[in-house]
Structure 1
């Protein structure tokens, strides 16, 4: 179901949407920049997984493409097949390798920034919600249930309505910090077709290259 706070699938999220409808959407509405921040936050657990997967592969593989490998592969393709197609395959492999490294660098630095920003959230409940949902990747229902019990003086039990407000507050606070850092400029509207249309935003690698300069 589409909502002002993004795509949610579990029953508790549906109930949160009902609360928003009852209280009034204006109170919970996200600006365009806050939606960009929400996209980045919701993608962050996947980003963390991809970072760890990449590092695991890099740490365990026994060989990599060196300049000698590239030259040998180029010469072998020319000798055996006599067609440029095979040398193009080698070139594409090198490009893909460098692109993966660039994406890893992007995700790694964005993740470090998000960890710092989330840890800087002032409200204890909003911070815990952001940690559980946007770092550890727990579902809406698990986090709302966790916070409905209360575990300490600063994390007293809160009802679903308060949880919904605190979650939105976390997104807004993170968005404010990311805007100051210029990170939200990296999140672009997805103008793709077909399956790409299902994802409203994307991270622009070219914008990141300009950001780093």
Structure 2
């Protein structure tokens, strides 16, 4: 992210206006059509002002993510029952939260921005995805300690499989994830090998 250059200090009012304008335009027109010029017009500042503070539109979006102007709330990991029930509730709530009317356009725009801009991708990963991954891995670790999961399970791979499937479905299908969440958890916990009996996951 570009540091503030020497010279006239940034106006906090204008800075916030630019970050908010970038968020609104991301939702309205998407990443590909977004430009610094459009952001400046929406924010009511000159494009020279915007270019003085940020080099690219990606720099603006990345700062907006860090500051919380451009963000959304993902569902938290559930820890209320057995591991199977909690995982199903977690993935279903996550899918619902990411496809909500107020979130879905911004999420899709940020996905496109991350694919095109490394700084945006890093900020999204560190501030939006990593906390959720950490929560889920901790919940799975507690399930291992309680004897609900094998002690040799690769928790990192399991987290990738669970979250990756949800994000893939949302990104490519844009459909509700509750039914998929149930079947995904059953598949992961019970296994897919022919001739094997389902594993009892409730204690």
Structure holding more helix per residue: 1
TM norm structure 2 = 0.27
TM norm structure 1 = 0.26
Rg comparison, structure with higher value:
1
